[in-house]
Structure 1
């Protein structure tokens, strides 16, 4: 596991050679918006560059699957981003990386990606080998401007990405059937006719569904199939559980004085 110093914005490609010079970058470095208006304009541009259809790697074809998550310190602007790579078959941890930093963009509903992208990109860059697929704790196409974190991250890195969220955000759905694998459309009723932006997916019998949406480079069918393979025992996929647990543990160690908040690489 590695740890790095805080930065205003990391490079726009993963350590394995992601999408340097991707849309929204200058020489591989993202142009991070400063104002809400700039962020909305950037999301519109990202949406136009995204591929939410894929089809992306089919289940069984992606060996290294990464989960990313960010944990915030409630008493300061400190945050910890984690990237955990699992073997897609055994679900064993292959590699971990973390990045500690500061919040650089205010919390604005619908613009969370601009708070989380810089540290998430930095954590991904510390991986020795890029993953075949990235699962975000949050939204992709299921976003008011169809440009959630999974969309934005995929466009910037060139990696197939999708989102698995714990709530339906502002969208509607009917309760899926009670069995594992049952699903129902996640609908944006602002559109006429209502647009399907994701799926409510039951990963465990009798447990609340998760909300899966395509991001970039992978379609919804494959995203749901991967989610079920990654969630054999619990509601959330093991990628999300691993990244969430790692980021929380590192933040706890910082609070207890066991780790420097912005230490050198380990």
Structure 2
């Protein structure tokens, strides 16, 4: 039998590597499968924010679907679990992916785009959490991180919508995006099946009032509540 593909390995946590070096190699194999392509011409309306909260022994994930035309919550779902991988920077996907997939499986609707609280291609191996989710599910996915992961990038001007590049060598892998004037930026990158331009435009559209997109803010709050309920 042929060896399993990276996506097949991700789909079965029993096949996941147990040690960081092997997990890094899996990310290197997965990274070339990320596709950058324009979002469909039809307007994106339903966007799911994804986030995970955890302590030393438990994880709680949340998916919150919002209608961007009204900024109202359409549906929510959660997932829970225990950590299956060490806490290692750049490898959080191996901790967070199982409960996130559980939460997404609980949704009845199909969001147009997934917004992950974490990196996409702006990652040391160009394969952050948003890439894991996007490639595995073959869904348009955007990474919106609160801090840079290995590539700080430039400093954008202070106005909303200003941005500066994050680069690995000569390649632009993400953008440092100002979602509110005079407020710390976020770090936007492609997870799968979006362009970087579309990813930034969607992030701004989903961020009318605060620093973070509303679907991610709502998912963060819900995952924290679910984690507290486990104790």
Instruction: Determine if the alignment matches structure 1 residue 63 to structure 2 residue 45.
Output: yes
Report deviation, 1:33.
Answer: 2.1
- SS of match in other structure, 2:44: coil
Q: Residue in 1 aligned with 2:208?
A: 232
CA distance in 1, matches of 2:94, 2:144: 18
- SS of match in other structure, 2:230: helix
Instruction: Determine if the alignment matches structure 1 residue 112 to structure 2 residue 92.
Output: yes
CA offsets 1:141-195 (integer angstroms, 9 cap, x no match): 001110001111100001110101111222132221111111111123xx2xx43
Runs of 5+ unmatched residues, structure 2? none
Higher share in helix: 2
CA distance in 2, matches of 1:140, 1:27: 16
> 1:54 pairs with 31, 37, 60, which one?
37
Q: Residue in 2 aligned with 1:163?
A: 143
Q: Which runs of 4+ in 1 moved over 6 A?
A: none
CA contact (8 A) 2:9 2:16 kept: no
Q: Residue in 2 aligned with 1:126?
A: 106
Runs of 5+ unmatched residues, structure 1? 1-20, 256-266
Instruction: Determine if the alignment matches structure 1 residue 184 to structure 2 residue 128.
Output: no
Q: Residue in 2 aligned with 1:208?
A: 184
Q: TM-score, normalised by structure 2?
A: 0.92
RMSD: 1.9
Report deviation, 1:35.
Answer: 2.1
CA distance in 1, matches of 2:40, 2:118: 20
Q: How many residues are aligned here?
A: 227
CA contact (8 A) 2:160 2:181 kept: yes
Q: TM-score, normalised by structure 1?
A: 0.80
Asked which structure has the greater CA Rg, the reply is: 1
Q: Which has the bigger relative contact order, CA under 8 A and spacing at least 6?
A: 1
